[in-house]
Amino acid sequence: MEVDYEKWITSFAQEGVKMVVEKLGTGLQNAIKKLRKAVVVDKKTVREYLKEIQKALLVADVNVKLVFDLSKSIEERSLLEKPPGSLSRRENLIKITYEELVKLLGTGDKLKVSDGGKILLVGTQGSGKTTTVAKLSRYFQRSGLHPRLICADTFRPAAYDQLNQLAAEIDIPFYGETNEKDSLKIIHRGIAHFKGNGLIIIDSEGRHRLNEDLMQDINRIHAEIKPEKTLLVLDGTMGQAAGEHAAAFQSSCDVEGIILTKMDGTAKGGGALSACSSTNAPVYFIGVGEHISDLEEFDPERFVSRLIGFGDLQTLLEKAKEVEFDEKVAKRLLSGKFDLNDIYEQISEMNKLGPLKKVMELLPFGAPVPKDALDVQEEKLKRFKIAMDSMTPEEMSNPEMIKKSRIERIARGSGTKPEDVRELLKYHKQMKKLMKNVGSGKKMERFMKKLGMGSFEGLG
Ligand SMILES: Nc1nc2c(ncn2[C@@H]2O[C@H](COP(=O)(O)OP(=O)(O)OP(=O)(O)O)[C@@H](O)[C@H]2O)c(=O)[nH]1
Ligand SMILES: [Mg+2]
């Protein structure tokens, strides 16, 4: 079944990054629309599609080299990789585009910091550091940490008042000095003042990458203070220059993460992509307004989904994922093993894929599933999982060794009943038998062919 890409031009975009999504997104979505209309997907179509993608990225201020690297890897992958499962070449091309864009933006992991640590914010003049220090401190405060702010900007006279005022607004301890010119001294005294309590967030003064003195100064601060995290605050409206700026900060103070600001304004988003690629650091947050609450956690997958049109992209990705899951099960079958680890994985996977029946439909065996295997309720499966959490690795891979005393220990340890454990063991036995039977049937053969795994000789 073909996906209706036209539906992709949606208005689901969240207020915050609407502009970016509109500007960068429209071009990408148009490329996809054209791809959909193409009669055949041959080399020429792929090349034209890539040209459209390049154009969209360039218009959105993505760095030229990056654009070419990106489209090259999309092209290479689309030529090399066989579309997974029932995905068409067209769909696979879009899936690859999505994946390459996500890869560029980082892992999607959350920023990890704790009380007792220090965060240093660096960035160019007016990029939004001071505002972001306040936003971040509120964010951390809400997640149960105890932020403390230090103003280390001795350059702009109003800097002290600006942060002091913001800190007072959200009731967060603040340290700053108005008569000291050496920012390093202020930081040291600030740290002493807070006696190592809480999470210290340091606001530094704005720097231009071409101003050697200032860059050396931030390098000195970074080297001496040794913050747990150094975050680069980058103006999202910056465009092509963002990459160079980010690289300059990277070389002077090991940027470990990026916060993109002003994503609510005229940002085209391309600068962000360029900056990420030149620092190799992930974007953790985006600023979407001037208020303290205008900070969002950044999720690359969601962001790129929005860029290239959410809607059916999700369906498409799930379609590919289901196949990955099928493949895993099939490989286990080929190896002749099927133990509790597989059941555990199936249950965990189910949360993502929906109810058991659906998972069963995906599995290669189709019809001959015993009714009571299908009727195992999700509630029960949850208990199975809890019971398995109390098993040793040996028990998980050799369920046959689990006899009476082990059953009792597992039930006690997991707070389940011995009947649950026994039922789980029975379920495993049933499934294993089923797998074995189906593993040698015609259906399996067809399934393996579908996966491009060829024959499966050697399976008993
Ligand atoms: N619309 C919008 N404005 C922002 C955002 N973040 C910061 N600003 C505005 O950008 C301007 C500069 O912000 P600051 O936080 O003072 O920037 P800075 O990096 O500390 O500036 P210097 O200390 O002079 O280097 C202010 O007017 C902020 O209100 C954002 O996410 N969206
Ligand atoms: Mg400032």
Q: Does ligand 1 lie within 6 Å of residue 126's CB atom?
A: yes
Residue 50 exposure: Cα atoms within 13 Å on the Cβ side: 23
Confidence at residue 58, expressed as pLDDT on a 0 to 100 scale: 85
Residues 6+ apart with CB under 8 A from 238: 127, 245, 271
Nearest to 437 by CA among 365, 356, 372, 332: 365
**pLDDT exceeds 60 at position 353:** no
What ligand has the least distance to the C-alpha of 135?
1
Please count the other Cβ atoms lying within 10 Å of the Cβ belonging to residue 95. Answer: 21
Residue recorded with tokens 């099928």: 326
User: How far does the centroid of ligand 1 lie from the alpha carbon of residue 203, in Å?
Assistant: 12
Sheet of 295-297: strand order equals 174-175, 147-151, 199-203, 118-123, 229-235, 257-261, 283-287, 295-297
Nearest CA to ligand 1 atom 26: 128
Q: Residue ranges of the domains in the chain?
A: 5-107, 118-300, 314-450
Residue 418 CA to ligand 2 centre (angstroms): 62
Helix spans in 151-211 (H): 159-169, 183-193
Return the beta strands (E) in 152-242 as ranges.
174-175, 199-203, 229-235
Q: How far is Cα 411 from Cα 418, in angstroms, rounded to an integer? A: 5
Which structure tokens are listed for 354?
């929906």
The domain 118-300 having CATH identifier 3.40.50.300: the answer here is: yes
Q: What percent of the chain has pLDDT over 90?
A: 38
- Mean pLDDT over residues 99-124, rounded? 89
Give the start-end residues of each E strand in 283-441. 283-287, 295-297
Instruction: Tell me the Cα Rg of the chain.
Output: 27
Residue 353 contacts residue 322 (beta carbons within 8 Å): yes
Cβ–Cβ < 8 Å for 155, 266: no
CB 412 within 8 A of CB 387: no
- 282-319: per-residue pLDDT in tens? 889 989 889 998 898 888 887 787 676 655 566 667 66
Could you say which architecture CATH assigns to the domain 5-107? Up-down Bundle (1.20)
CA 413 distance to own-chain centroid: 34
- Note whether 5-107 and 314-450 share their fold: no
Determine if ligand 1 sits within 6 Å of the CB of residue 196. Answer: no
What residues contact 99, with CB distance under 8 A and at least 6 apart? none
Whole-model pTM over 0.75: no
Tokens 């988003």 map to which residue?
269
Q: Which ligand is nearest to the CA of 237?
A: 1
Pocket test residue of 264, 285, 290, 292 for ligand 1, highest count of atoms within 8 A of CB: 290
Report which bound ligand comes closest to the CA of 134. Answer: 1
- CATH classification code of 314-450: 1.10.260.30
Question: Could you read off the pLDDT of 138-194 as tens digits, one per residue?
Answer: 999 988 999 999 999 998 889 999 999 999 999 999 999 999 999 999 999 999 999
The per-residue pLDDT for range 354-407, each reduced to its tens digit, is 444 444 444 443 334 455 555 556 677 788 889 999 999 999 999 999 999 999
Residue 15 has pLDDT above 60, yes or no: no
Coil, strand or helix at 158: coil
